[in-house]
Chain A
Amino acid sequence: MRKQLPNPYIPMLTEVVSITSENKVNDIKTIELKFKKEEDYKNFAYIPGQFAEISLIGKGECPIGIASSPTEEGTIKFTIKKMGTVTSGFHNCEVGDTVGIRGPCGNGWPMEDMKGKNIVVIGGGFAFSTLRSLVLYVLDEKYRKDYKDITVIYGNRDSGEVLYQDVLEEWDKRDDINVVLTIDREEEGWTRKVGFVAAIVKEVAPSPENAVAIICGPPIMIRTAVAELVELGWKDEQILNSLEMRMKCGIGKCGRCNIGNKFVCVDGPVFSLAELKKMPNEY
């Protein structure tokens, strides 16, 4: 007899413990969730780069990348941009509200394979959430020795859009990480870089030697930044992307997130450029 499994569409229940507005225009918020049942939290063992299906019961469900790192124990965080019914619902949440969660879903960043390597993180806009998770993870005292040099290039439209100011400040204080922040246009009071992410990648010129590049951001940024890396001698296998697709179930059943014979929700969302080149250009 087949092992009886629980209904995979039933969410575990969590409670909102904090809500943080992340940008000036206030359309991006980070919500922090605590599992109502301790055993659910134990079963929710995730790695950076994975996502979860989070839902407001009665409004609906959506897939969101996990912004917290597994090293931040006790709670999990999601950074959500206000877009439609469900995300707007999350923006109207209050502390104490119930949120459903299913997951963790997807493959996540290959934390094991990256051991002993230099890591170059390139992010743009609010796609930085799973990158926050990754950087916090590799900076954790338990894991820092497993990874070599860490470079973060993080670009935004303007200074008001820079997420996670608190952790960025922490990273600035450390000498074992190189954080390069950039915004698209000059702004009064801005002392960091100015220019598109691709241009900054060219300027920083990270070496492909024993390194992995992790790229997350809008499609145009990904294309241009990848082009610069290739120029610098990076191989397709060294460049990792996290893809987005419309999803419903998050567990490889509802069908819509396929690219060729792969499902982004279970085979991805992380693919190397080498893998992507083998897949049809339909994403």
Chain B
Amino acid sequence: MEQKILQKDQIAKLYIELSEEYNIYAPVKEKGNIVFKKISNSDQIELDYLNSKIPPKEVLFPQMEVLFEYKLDGKDVEIIDRQDLDEKILLFGVRPCDAYSFELVGNFFKAHGNWEDEIYLKKKENTTIIGMGCNSPRTTCFCTSVGGHPFQKDYIDLFLTDLGDKYLVEGISDKGKEIMQKLSWLSDAKEADVKKSEELAKQAEESFTTKFNFDLVTKVLGENFENPVWEEISESCIGCGSCTFLCPTCTCFDVIEENDKYNNRGRRIRIWDTCQSCLYTLETSGHNPRPDKIQRCRNRIMHKFSYYPENYNCLGCVGCGRCIQACPVNNELRIIIDKILEIEKEEDEKAVA
């Protein structure tokens, strides 16, 4: 595989070259947080970050998105389709876990039923990902437990490894290799650079402190829908939905109309919704199949670690740890998983006794 070197002071050059073809979205610092934003200047890029607070899913699946627009004229209606889905998007600085999330979300929007979410899929098709390995994963990261790796390159087009004052650059997909060719001024990598990147990957992998046995978790969940543990798990939950809004694989949405009554026009939009909200499942009749937080907390965990494996043969989680960091009452995944695995232990003890 061809490997090149990008000096950190060459980021501006890279930006200028690629911004001709792409709209570039990169990590920027905003109100003390890292977010992926469309940039108009390479100085905006924040290179010293662990990961963004809001995942880059926001670029392809924004919190609020137009499904179509309409004009009303008496009894007639004119529908106007989205015209902006051909935008060529370049995501710069995406971590491997988030890159994998695009794969999961893309598969979900394609898989279930006969209908494909053309809006999302078209944007995904027009997106190129420049990813970056994680030299120092957070204590809340657990991608290695969900089949990932801090240097996983599979879902990334062009892969960068931070070597201090420079990046090692590898073209992974055809899209990425094309970009490599385009950036003809990149210098060749030396063997020492490649070796260093391998060492960094190894160090990063060894530094993980959060580890789960999800095969076991999936098995236990499949047998314990009715277990009283859900009462305990949901006890401190305040139903804020932060865990779902900040989850790179959560895609639930609500659909509403926004009207401009004075001009007889409007738009139907989708906005992020959360299974942690009571209104999410409240039926018109007043009946609610998930009326309490017990059912709602259970639904989130079951969805990621039981329903997802049943339907798609993989976990619905990329191990980014955002839900762990975001929970305002510390009712976080590590604690929840421990409680779930506790069931299995108790049963084993019973069996021994």
Using a CB–CB cutoff of 8 Å, the interface residues on chain A facing chain B are: 2, 4-11, 13, 57-61, 83-84, 87, 96-98, 100, 219, 244-246, 248-249, 251-256, 258-261, 263, 265-266, 280, 282-283
Quick check: B76 and A251 within 8 Å, CB to CB? no
B8 within 8 A of partner (CB):
no
A94 to B225, CA, bound (A): 48
Do B268 and A9 touch across chains, with their CB atoms under 8 A apart? yes
The reply to whether A246 and B282 contact each other, CB–CB distance below 8 Å, is yes
Given contacts A60-B256, A248-B254, contact A7 B118 (CB under 8 A): yes
B82: Cβ under 8 A from any A Cβ:
yes
CB distance from B66 to the nearest CB of A (A): 10
Are B113 and A10 neighbours in the complex by a CB distance under 8 Å?
Answer: no
Task: Provide the B61-98 mask, 1 if CB < 8 A to any CB of A, else 0.
Answer: 00000011010100111010110000000000000000
Of the candidates B118, B259, B282, B287, which one forms a contact with A5 in the assembled complex, judged by CB atoms under 8 Å apart? B118
Q: In the bound complex, what is the Cα–Cα distance between A268 and B307 (angstroms)? A: 16
A97 to B77 alpha-carbon distance, docked (Å):
9
Q: Which residue among A4, A61, A246 has the maximum number of chain B CB atoms within 10 Å of its CB?
A: A246
Among B280, B284, B307, contact of A256 (Cβ-Cβ < 8 Å): B280
Instruction: Verify A282–B118 contact, CB threshold 8 A.
Output: no
The distance from the CB of A58 to the nearest CB of chain B, in whole angstroms, is 6
- Whether, in the assembled complex, B42 has its beta carbon less than 8 Å from a beta carbon of chain A, the answer is no
Scan residues 252-307 of chain B and give those whose CB is less than 8 A from a CB of chain A.
252-257, 259, 266, 268, 270, 273, 275, 280-285, 287, 289-290, 295, 299, 302-303, 306-307
CB distance from A171 to the nearest CB of B (A): 28
Measured CB to CB, the nearest residue on chain B to A103 is: B115
Q: Say whether, besides A7-B68, A282-B289, A253 and B280 are in contact (CB < 8 Å).
A: no
Q: Which chain A residues border B199 with CB–CB below 8 Å?
A: none
What residues of B have a CB within 8 angstroms of the CB of A100 in the complex?
77, 79
Task: Tell whether, in the assembled complex, residue A255 and residue B251 are in contact, meaning their CB atoms are under 8 Å apart.
Answer: yes
Expressed in whole angstroms, the Cα–Cα distance for A75 and B294 within the complex equals 45
Instruction: Using A2-B121, A10-B81, A261-B311 as known contacts, say yes or no to A253 and B115 having CB atoms under 8 A apart.
Output: yes
Contact partners of B251 in chain A: CB under 8 A: 253, 255
- Report Cα–Cα, A240/B31, bound state, in Å: 55
Residues of B with C-beta under 8 A to A10: 67-68, 79, 81
Complex alpha-carbon distance, A219 and B287, angstroms? 10
Q: Chain B's nearest CB lies how many Å from the CB of A116?
A: 28
B113, B125, B257, B283 — which one has the most chain A CB atoms within 10 A of its CB? B113
Say whether B115 contacts A58, CB under 8 Å. no
B273 in complex: contacting residue of A57, A59, A256, A282, CB < 8 Å: A256
Cβ-closest chain B residue relative to A87: B284
Tell me whether B116 is interfacial, beta carbon within 8 Å: yes
Chain B residues with Cβ below 8 Å from A258 are 299, 303, 307
Complex interface: chain B residues within 8 A of A58 (CB): 70, 72, 257, 259, 266
Q: Are A255 and B253 in contact (CB under 8 A)?
A: yes
A59 adjacent to B82 (CB under 8 Å): no
Beta-carbon contact of B117 and A253 below 8 Å: yes
- Count B interface residues, CB 8 Å: 55
A7-B67 contact in complex given A57-B72, A255-B273, A263-B112, C-beta closer than 8 Å: yes
Kindly state whether residue B109 has any CB partner on chain A within 8 Å. yes
Partner of A83, one of B259, B284, B306: B284
Interface: B310 (CB within 8 A):
yes
Complex contact B119–A9 (CB within 8 A) = yes
Q: A9-B268, A100-B79 are in contact. List 8 more A-B contacts (CB 8 A).
A: A7-B119, A57-B268, A245-B281, A245-B289, A254-B273, A256-B273, A260-B225, A263-B113
> Cα distance A96–B76 when bound, in Å?
9
Pairs A–B under 8 Å by Cβ, sample size 6: A13-B79, A57-B72, A59-B257, A100-B77, A252-B112, A266-B115
Is B273 in contact with A9, judged by CB distance below 8 angstroms? no
Q: Given that A59-B257, A256-B252 are contacting pairs, would A9 and B121 also be in contact in the complex, using a CB cutoff of 8 Å?
A: no
Asked if B114 lies at the interface with its beta carbon under 8 angstroms from chain A, I say: yes
Residues in A whose Cβ lies below 8 Å from that of B306 = 261
B113 touches A266 (CB 8 A): yes
Q: How far is the CA of A266 from the CA of B108 in the complex (A)?
A: 13
- Please tell me if the beta carbons of A246 and B281 are within 8 angstroms of each other in the complex: yes
Query: In the complex, are the beta carbons of B114 and A2 less than 8 A apart?
Result: no
Q: Are A265 and B284 in contact (CB under 8 A)?
A: no
Closest CB pairs A-B (n = 9): A266-B113, A255-B252, A261-B307, A252-B113, A251-B115, A252-B112, A9-B67, A261-B310, A98-B77
Contact in complex: A248, B115 (CB < 8 Å): no
- The answer to whether A254 and B81 touch across the interface, beta carbons within 8 angstroms, is no
**For residue A61, which residues in chain B have a CB less than 8 angstroms away from its CB?**
255, 268
Say yes or no: A13-B289 contact (C-beta < 8 A), given A84-B284, A248-B253, A253-B117: no
Among A6, A57, A246, A249, the residue within 8 A (CB) of B77 is: A57
Quote the shortest CB–CB distance from A55 to chain B (angstroms): 8
Bound: A89/B225 CA distance, A:
40
Given A13-B79, A98-B75: A256 touches B275 (CB 8 Å cut-off): yes
Nearest chain A CB to B255's CB is how many angstroms away?
Answer: 5
* Complex contacts, B109 vs chain A, CB 8 Å: 253
Query: Which residues from chain B contact A249 at a C-beta distance below 8 Å?
Result: 253, 255
CA distance A258 to B281 in the complex (A): 9
Chain A residues with CB under 8 A of B311: 261
Please determine whether B115 and A245 come into contact, CB atoms closer than 8 angstroms: no
User: Provided the pairs A10-B79, A258-B307 are in contact, do residues A2 and B255 lie with their beta carbons within 8 angstroms?
Assistant: no
Complex Cα distance A105/B308, Å? 22
The answer for the CA separation of A134 and B240 in the assembled complex, in Å, is 44
Q: Which residue of A lies closest to B287 (CB)?
A: A219
Q: A58-B266, A83-B284, A282-B295 are in contact. Are A13 and B77 (CB under 8 A)?
A: yes
Chain B 123-157 interface 0/1 with A at a Cβ cutoff of 8 Å (1 = within): 00100000000000000000000000000000000
